[in-house]
A and B are shown apart, each in its own frame.
Chain A
Amino acid sequence: MLGRTANGLYWMFRYIERAENGARLIDAGLRMSLTRSEATEDDWEGVLQSAGVRELYDQVHDQLTSSDAIDFLLRDHANPSSVMSCIEAGRHNARMVRTALTRETWEATNECWIDMKAMLARKVRPAEMPEVIDAIKRRAGLIRGAFHGTMLRNEIFNFSRIGTFIERADNTARILDVKYYVLLPAVSAVGSSMDNVQWESILRSVSAHRAYGWVYDAELRPANIADFLISNGRMPRSLAYCYEKIVSNLGYLAREYGEKHAAHETAEQTLESLRSRSIDDIMDQGLHEYLEEFISHNNRLGQEITDGYRFYH
């Protein structure tokens, strides 16, 4: 397949993943502002940081208000990572690689764009927020469903999946990194209601608050939360799960092409470290440092895939 097509698929699925995660972040932010009586602007600061657009926000706005922050995250074209920007970029890439997609996958993507463009044409009123967040998640779900139900399991599938999981790993790591301090045993007043809200919001940002209860007996504990999102191979948004998927999809490519690239080694090493290091060890060594290093390795992997499979030249 063309290098440009592989690139288009990879980015199409990165953007769709990012759009969906953006909606989740906003959802978590809204939830936090509902459960707290004062200082909700600080919460949005955290959300902007998790989305990696805190500085960009300041370039566009003079002050931080919840209404502006939501709009910036949801539909501002000045923000390339806003939900609408991501849906547009995802659909743009889909259009470019249309010949590689099944009709169902393309149509789900195109309809997502048509719907969300209409829904996000104007600033969304607070009362409409739940409906909008729901629509984004549902639309992203339909794309995923069409993709899984109709695409051949070939190189096209592999590049798409790799895009999804590189993006997801990055997003989960960022969410943890922005809130890493609330997970540190030293500073947290364990059991305070303040911490509970913060912890829950981390889980909500990755739609994992229910699942957490099943795995860790419902009690919110920082080390368990970190373990769940970093090392738990059954949690579909954890770093370990993402890397299992990246490694297996790269493995299919290696088998089909009969050659390996630098990316294979990087991905396997990262997975190995995710499997072998205990969460206590990571917390002892410094969660922040660990996540920073992870994000930078994840970026490097993206670059190695881009080079190895000739996305650009």
Chain B
Amino acid sequence: MMNADSSPRRPYSTYHEWYASQDRNRLIAKSKEAENIFRKTGITFAVYGHADSSEKLIPFDLIPRIISGREWRKLAQGIEQRVLALNAFLDDIYHKQEIIRAGRIPRELIEKNDAFLPQMIGFRPPGGVYTHIVGTDIVRTGEDQFYVLEDNARTPSGVSYMLENRETMMQMFPELFHQNRVRPVENYPYLLRQSLSSLAPPGCTGKPRVAVLTPGIYNSAFYEHAFLADMMGVELVEGSDLRVIDGKVKMRTTRGYEAIDVLYRRVDDDFLDPLTFRPDSALGIPGIMDVYRAGNITIANAPGTGISDDKAIYSYMPEIVEFYTGRKPLLENVPTWRCSEQPSLKYVLEHLDELVVKEVHGSGGYGMLVGPTATKRERAAFAEKLKERPGNYIAQPTLSLSTVPILVNKGIAPRHVDLRPYVLVSDKVQIIPGGLTRVALKEGSLVVNSSQGGGTKDTWVLED
């Protein structure tokens, strides 16, 4: 929020003035009020592996994270470039594989990767769109300096928090929205529905029927699935509601079976079709891949998109962006050591205390080592794992992430954050001005994942 000379940074100046006039106890009371709103509404998520904690709240911090219009424009251009490159990359590796032939990416890195689906080879999804919804994880290290941490091109979650956080802020502090010109995010569900409908399959003749596919009530993001279906005004379906009949995917309604044209699935590739992928999956729909390939349903995001946001591919993103857009990437990648390569492994082992080491296929902040904050013993144990399966890991330096203020009992204190803006791809790329700001609530911590004690904030993009 502040410049080095302790004056407020420009986008924060109006907010800062307001904050200075507030009574701290009132803010702390408001903070409790917000928690009650979330609990009452049932905005919860599940943490796997915790006994008796099937529903948890993600802590909400009521100081908004504010981004100037100018910085946002720069960021948005970079994201658009990157998302277009991801789609071009997917289309290429499932067709001509020019990037491999050009020697820019090793063949085995693609073809031996679990996220690469041979079933997608030679198939082009409706509109040529693979990643309908993307949530690019970004960190800011200084003025106009952004790095992409992850591309999240499979089924990025958290957009319901973006919407509920804004809703809560507008309920609690309406005056702030008079004083600041904050760009709206509320029309996301409408844009999502529109975007999904515009990519109906060739076999759809009437008005496209959209549905959201959830693994069910026990999934950690069930709340979000229900929320999005509700806000879009479409059915929320489970695998058991669906069946392939006459070459179409149909859902069991109280009037009989009715066809679905576009399926926004929040189920992983592996579980989508037991006939094609995991035979033990009870979450999917037997035969849906045949319907898909016959052009009778759109699956969003397309199966096999995971190959583009795989952590092993990540380090090649600068080459990928340049290869398909013909220009240098506008957003930087975090420098990444691939531990599969011998010199890199040696470097990583020697500099464990400075690096963050991540599992290539991990997610949610599990199975990673944050070198600078880990104990000596933890680092030694991790080094063993690393030597055992080097190909399983990548390493990155810890960036000096920018901090934003959060409300604590004594007033405000700085904490590290990241940002996940949401991107919709159809015949155009739409980036919602805002996103999900995740904040590491523990002092000094760099891990923002909600499963590891992270919280969220409202994210404002100002008009200027």
Contact = CB atoms under 8 A, between A and B. Distances in A.
A92 B241 CA distance: 18
A257 B252 CA distance: 15
B238 A4 contact: yes
A4 B226 contact: no
Nearest to A106: B42
Interface in B231-260: 235-238, 240-241, 251-256
A137 interface: no
Contact of B40 (A6, A111, A257): A111
Interface in A69-126: 92, 95-96, 98-99, 103, 106-107, 110-111, 114
A31 to B, nearest CB: 34
A111 B41 CA distance: 9
Nearest to A98: B226
A155 interface: yes
B210 interface: no
Nearest to B229: A99
B254 A257 contact: yes
A307 to B, nearest CB: 11
Contacts of B253: 1-3, 310
Interface size class of B (residues with CB under 8 A): 20 to 34
Contacts of B230: 98-99
Contacts of B255: 257
Interface string A116-149: 0000000000000000000000000000000000
B217 A309 contact: no
Given A257-B255, A310-B256, A2 B241 contact: yes
B217 A107 contact: no
A103 B40 CA distance: 10
B39 interface: yes
A313 interface: yes
Most buried by A among B42, B230, B241, B251: B42
Given A2-B235, A96-B217, A310-B256, A107 B41 contact: yes
Contacts of A99: 226, 229-230, 235-236
Contacts of A107: 40-42
Nearest to B230: A99
Contacts of B236: 99
A90 to B, nearest CB: 14
A110 B253 CA distance: 26
B84 to A, nearest CB: 33
B241 A4 contact: yes
A159 B251 CA distance: 19
Nearest to A110: B42
Nearest to A8: B217
A5 to B, nearest CB: 8
Given A95-B217, A98-B230, A99-B229, A2 B40 contact: no
A234 to B, nearest CB: 31
Nearest to B251: A2
Contact of B254 (A3, A96, A103, A110): A3
Given A95-B217, A310-B252, A3 B241 contact: yes
Given A98-B226, A99-B226, A106-B42, A309 B252 contact: no
5 contacts: A1-B253, A4-B241, A4-B252, A114-B39, A253-B254
